[in-house]
Chain A
Amino acid sequence: MATPIDPRPEPGPPDTSARTRVVLAEVVRSGTRAERTRAELTQQTQVGDALVRGLVRAQLALALRLSLVVGIGLGGLPLLFAIAPEVGTAKLFGVNLPWLLLGVGAFPFLVAVGWAYVHLAERNEQDFTDVIQRPER
């Protein structure tokens, strides 16, 4: 790599300027490594494919985990009201619990889950980007 840049026609013994060139070459090589990982992605090599599969799996697992939270938290309510009628008759602030849970509580709950998802999904993507752009460090 260093030889074509070397202006001298004959290779001589290494000196300090040669060391400087090596450092420059290191920077260029680290750039090409990131480039290479990107190429692995776009050209669908085995490595690139495995990376994408990992990202998709992480994002899907996150989405499924959070939908499980909603599925139990909200989806379990009709069953709960059906098998434990005393929950339906319980009162909070003079209002029956199902009215409070469904009429008011459900909405902040959904927004909170959505906020957590956006936060965690962006972190997954950041991790993925870091792997691509700073490999082997």
Chain B
Amino acid sequence: MDNPYTVPAIIAVTLVTVAIGFYGLTLARTTSDFLVASRMVSPTWNAAAIGGEYLSAASFLGIAGLILKYGVDVLWYPVGFAAGYLALLLFVAAPLRRSGAFTLPDFCEVRLGSRRLRKLATAFVIFIGWLYLVPQLQGAGLTLATVTGAPYPLGALLVGAVVTANVALGGMRAVTFVQAFQYWLKLTALAVPAIFLALQWQADSRPAVTPVGGPVFSTATTVVVEEPATLTLPDGTSREVRPGDELSFAAGEQVPEISSVAADNGLDWLLPSMAGSDDRGLFATYSLILATFLGTMGLPHVLVRFYTNPDGAAARRTTLVVLALVGAFYLLPTLYGVLGRIYTPQLLLTGQTDAVVVLLPGAALGNGPTGQLLAALVSAGAFAAFLSTSSGLLTSVAGVVSTDLLGQGSVRDFRLATVLAGLIPMVLALNVSGLDVSQVVGLAFAVAASSFCPLLVLGIWWRGLTDAGAAAGILAGGGAAVGAVLFTVLGPELTGWPAVLIAQPAAWTVPLAFTVMVTTSWATRRRTPADVGAIMLRLHAPEALRL
């Protein structure tokens, strides 16, 4: 790629992130400034910051890539990522803010008064945080490699180092400014090129998204094969290809199918999966819906933000604004995935569909200055996505590590914890390769939905929850989901029903967690905290009463 604007754009985003971080550093004076921004963050800033933090590599790159590959069935990812905020608003936002809990382990202690449950929650926060951090760093490595040809570890190390230094030095106050800035950058970086892409599609006299017989190359294209596979040509013949083979296609030629990349074509791509023919697809869809709808509330970096709201009512309004901001953003990746069918079909052969957002402006608009500038803008937005989500995750993991594992949560502890919490995912990102960004992020949602979602929902609305019940539910549901994650990453490849049950575990682990939590609480109902009435009052009483 010989785009003169990309590297300066990425450097500019990184520098602005660091600069805003240092601006925040001059304001951050006390531990309270570091951890909760002194609760002086206005709802609009806070909502933009939550949105900026939430829209990760999976949202910015992954969704469009999945749509390019699988079509309508994966539209549930953006819908679920947005709907997660509605579930958060309905069941958690205001009571959680009123509880005064800063992290999920805090909530365990406030509500159930158990130190051991607190430790268990800490372990899950760290697991989910790292599970979510690794694909962010990997996305950074892949993007930098795609747009500049730099070696893969460079991007991962760059983002990891910038984020670790920024969080360690500036803390959360700085992060709030950084995140709010990055939400608007990400929205702009997808919206402006999207307008040009739509105009270009009009100017090309609206080429069909689903031509009869499958996608076709819009220009002459050469693809280099990276792993051995079977190529099925449009005329039905097939041949073996080896790594290093160069395949050349003329403009207008049909895209062949390749055995190394699973993708849907034709009507499978255009239409939802049908009953009977594809029950597993229906199960996977509902599992995905459960994981994303219920997982958002259990993500550690999302929850920390609510403490920066002044009160419960403000937390509710902030969540509504976040829902609107995030929903507006998710209108865009679909467009990239669909237009990618027309302008970058070679990604269906290489399998690197996560690169569609970054490559599409150059592919559709040509190598003129417009195309290059827009491609640079998109790359900058992608880096904003890696930087902001990693910052938020690292802040929350470091906050938990510094208060629960190191000591009293002083500024020094927080800095030490940040370095520790940042180094480990960097090492993992360098050594674990071949993970699919969106799939891993989906698994993190599944773990959160089957551990912290039941804890929060039952803890806030049901007086009968006990510490033993909560621990049993988290261990059963969350443990099963963690097992599914480890099996997906490390285990052998499965087929048929076991593959679906392991790859999309939420549909059985979430009900399992709720059931175990409720039945164990019933069995141990003598352990119900004596002050449950006072806690319920604190969680639900409106601020107007000033009790």
Interface residues of A (CB under 8 A from B): 38, 41-42, 44, 48-49, 52-53, 55-56, 59-60, 63, 66-67, 70, 74-75, 78-79, 81-83, 85, 88-89, 96, 98-99, 102-104, 106-108, 110-111, 113-115, 117-118, 121-122, 125-126, 128-129, 132-133
A132 to B328, CA, bound (A): 40
Interface residues on B, range: 35 or more
Chain A hits for B72, CB < 8 A: 88, 96, 98-99, 102
B503-547 contact mask (Cβ, 8 Å, vs A): 1 or 0: 000000000000000000000000000000110110011101101
Q: B249 contacts the other chain (Cβ, under 8 Å)?
A: no
Count A-B pairs with CB separation below 8 Å. Answer: 135
CB-based contact B90/A78 at 8 Å: no
CB-based contact A98/B544 at 8 Å: no
Q: Which 5 A-B pairs have the closest CB atoms?
A: A107-B327, A81-B272, A82-B275, A125-B542, A102-B75
Distance between B117 CB and nearest chain A CB, rounded to angstroms: 22
A128 to B83, CA, bound (A): 29
Q: B87 contacts the other chain (Cβ, under 8 Å)?
A: yes
CB-based contact B320/A88 at 8 Å: no
Which residue of the partner chain, among B90, B272, B319, B330, contacts A88 with CB atoms under 8 Å? B272
Nearest CB in chain A to that of B77: its residue: A102
CB-based contact A129/B542 at 8 Å: yes
CB-based contact B319/A52 at 8 Å: no
Known: A82-B274, A82-B282. A99 touches B75 (CB 8 A): yes
CB-based contact B331/A114 at 8 Å: no
CB-based contact B547/A38 at 8 Å: yes
Interface of B is mostly: helix
Known: A41-B537, A99-B72. A111 touches B272 (CB 8 A): no
A56 to B538, CA, bound (A): 11
Which residue of the partner chain, among A48, A99, A113, contacts B86 with CB atoms under 8 Å? A113
Q: B270 contacts the other chain (Cβ, under 8 Å)?
A: yes
Which residue of the partner chain, among A41, A83, A98, A107, contacts B328 with CB atoms under 8 Å? A107
Nearest CB in chain B to that of A124: its residue: B542
Known A42-B537, A110-B85; 18 more pairs at CB < 8 Å: A52-B536, A63-B90, A78-B282, A78-B289, A81-B274, A88-B271, A96-B72, A99-B334, A106-B83, A107-B328, A107-B331, A110-B327, A111-B320, A114-B85, A115-B320, A118-B316, A125-B313, A128-B542
Distance between A44 CB and nearest chain B CB, rounded to angstroms: 5
Known: A67-B90, A107-B327, A108-B327. A132 touches B320 (CB 8 A): no
Known: A56-B540, A78-B272. A103 touches B75 (CB 8 A): yes
Chain B hits for A129, CB < 8 A: 542, 544-545
Chain A hits for B76, CB < 8 A: 78, 102
CB-based contact A44/B534 at 8 Å: yes
A67 to B72, CA, bound (A): 24
Chain A hits for B82, CB < 8 A: 106-107, 110
Chain A hits for B444, CB < 8 A: none
A31 to B270, CA, bound (A): 67
Distance between B290 CB and nearest chain A CB, rounded to angstroms: 9
CB-based contact A110/B461 at 8 Å: no
Q: B223 contacts the other chain (Cβ, under 8 Å)?
A: no
Q: B323 contacts the other chain (Cβ, under 8 Å)?
A: yes
Q: B15 contacts the other chain (Cβ, under 8 Å)?
A: no
Q: B250 contacts the other chain (Cβ, under 8 Å)?
A: no
Chain A hits for B533, CB < 8 A: 44, 49, 52
Q: Can you name 29 A-B residue pairings with CB atoms under 8 Å?
A: A41-B545, A44-B533, A44-B534, A49-B533, A52-B537, A52-B540, A56-B540, A63-B91, A74-B79, A75-B289, A78-B286, A83-B275, A85-B271, A88-B271, A96-B72, A96-B270, A103-B331, A106-B79, A107-B331, A110-B79, A111-B323, A114-B323, A115-B320, A117-B90, A118-B320, A126-B542, A128-B541, A129-B545, A133-B545
Distance between A125 CB and nearest chain B CB, rounded to angstroms: 4
CB-based contact A52/B541 at 8 Å: yes
B231-274 contact mask (Cβ, 8 Å, vs A): 1 or 0: 00000000000000000000000000000000000000011111
A128 to B313, CA, bound (A): 14
Chain A hits for B544, CB < 8 A: 125-126, 129
Q: B164 contacts the other chain (Cβ, under 8 Å)?
A: no
A44 to B533, CA, bound (A): 7
CB-based contact A96/B271 at 8 Å: yes
A96 to B270, CA, bound (A): 8
Q: B285 contacts the other chain (Cβ, under 8 Å)?
A: yes
Nearest CB in chain A to that of B547: its residue: A42
A116 to B63, CA, bound (A): 29
Distance between B7 CB and nearest chain A CB, rounded to angstroms: 33
Interface centre among A42, A53, A88, A106, by most chain B C-beta atoms within 10 angstroms, is A106
CB-based contact B327/A122 at 8 Å: no
Interface centre among B91, B270, B533, B547, by most chain A C-beta atoms within 10 angstroms, is B533
